[in-house]
Every structure is written in C-alpha cells, then in structure tokens.
Amino acid sequence: MRRRSPPDRNTRGLNTPAQLLALDEAALDHVEEHGGPGLLWFWESDSPWVVVGYGQSIAREVHVEACQRDGIPIFRRCSGGGTVVQGRGCLNYGLALPIAADPELESITGANRWIMERQRRAMATLLSGVVTVEGHTDLAVDGRKFSGNAQRRKRTALLFHGTFLHHFDLPCIARWLAFPSAQPGYRSSRDHLEFVTNTHLDPARIETALKETWSTLDHTLPEEVHTRIPALIESRYGRPEWHSSR
C-alpha cells in the first residue's frame, strides 16, 4: 500500500493551485524584505494540475486539448524551469534563502551547484542507486529523473523550489505534457516514461532528510508569509489571463 506523508505540514491547509503557487512567491518576498536564516516548506497537491515555467509557452509545452478533455487546469509559476504535472505522489519543497548566506549564492550557476549538491547528498542516503545531479537542476537515480528544480532571484534573496516523485501516476505526464522544447543532454530524447521514475519512498522520509540538510533554516512559515498570499492571488495566480499570457 502506498504510504502518504502527514497532510498537515507547515502550509496550514493551503491546497488550491493558486494558493500553493502564491505561497512560494510570498516566502521569497518575506526573506527579501526581512532577511533571517531562510525558510523551508513542503506541499503536495491532492488533485492534478499542470504548471509551466514563467517564460514558457503553454501551447508549446502542454497538450492543451487533452488537459481540457480531462478537466486539468494549467497554471504558471514565478520561476523558470520546465513544465510539470502536480498531484498526489509529487512532493514539493521550497527554499527561500538570503543571498548573503554563502558566496556561491551570488550567481545562478553557483546557487544551482551549491543547493543541488546538498539535495543530492540528502537523497543518496535514502536511495540504493547512484544519485546524480544532471542538467544543472535535475536529480536522477541510475540515469532517470526523479526531481526537477527551478530558481527565481531578487536583489537579496532567492527562491529555489522543486519536486520529488515518490508514488506519482507517471503515464499522466505523457498524456498532458508535450515533449519539452528544451532538454538536458542526459535525456537523450527519451520519452517521458523512459526518462522519469518514482523513488517509491515514503515522502515523510524525504522531508526528514531535507530538514536535516537545511537544519539552520526556519521550518515554520512566519504569519506574514500567509498574509501576503491573498494579494498575490488577486494580482497574479487567481487571474487566468496571467497564466495564459505566453
């Protein structure tokens, strides 16, 4: 039987796509304005939906007609990276970090390297295969991707967030997503089902490993993060025209 992580994380009942996407940006804005050690949080959607990277074209990256037939909504996030399907079996994490925390965080490339190596080490303690960083912001086990990540930067803080496939319905990825417009070299033109894999881990174990890796961060979201969410929904994440703007 598939094991589920505890439903009550530090996201306090946020569950709609607009709320969850706004949460990531609200946490970044909080660290940008107030500093501190940084924040770590987790969420997992109970229902499936598609989210594209900030600069991506929905028409290019998504099988729009299939999503419409299946009632799958399509959203846009504030960071770059590729298009993903959200839903049960896909654990999401977010890091909001002050750039001054380490010299590596002063550049996109340095931040990718610094954060992804820590993520790799954490997951290597849980998986029996060879865990590698691929394509700058993917994690793979024995050459198959199980985690994709993306970054958004402001003047004094950055958001680094991503996914971990643990018991996801992998065939729905091919049903709702086109072959990506950009692929890392290690993909070698493999289709979705040949390229991705589930970790088959209890997601609570993943959360514990990341909390240990990022033990100096605050794992409780400040109240101000939650109070920022409605305005972000009103201005962006609750507006269909914002999501479909490219």
pLDDT digits (tens, 9 = 90+) for 35-58: 999 999 999 999 999 999 999 999
pLDDT for 110: 98
Question: Is the model's pLDDT at 215 over the cut of 80?
Answer: yes
125 assigned to some structural domain:
yes
pLDDT for 246: 77
Q: Are 44 and 88 in contact (CB under 8 A)?
A: yes
Instruction: Give this prediction's pTM.
Output: 0.94
DSSP letter at 218 equals: B
Confidence of residue 11 (pLDDT cuts 50, 70, 90): confident
pLDDT for 10: 63
3 assigned to some structural domain:
no
13 assigned to some structural domain:
no
Mean pLDDT of 181-202: 96
- The secondary structure of 43-105 as a DSSP string is E--SS-EEEE-TT--HHHHB-HHHHHHHT--EEE-SS-S--EEESTTEEEEEEEEEGGG-GGG
Residue range(s) defining the domain that contains residue 38: 20-243
Confidence of residue 7 (pLDDT cuts 50, 70, 90): very low
162 assigned to some structural domain:
yes
CATH code, domain carrying 196: 3.30.930.10
Closest CA to 228 of 24, 40, 8, 9: 24
Number of domains in the chain: 1
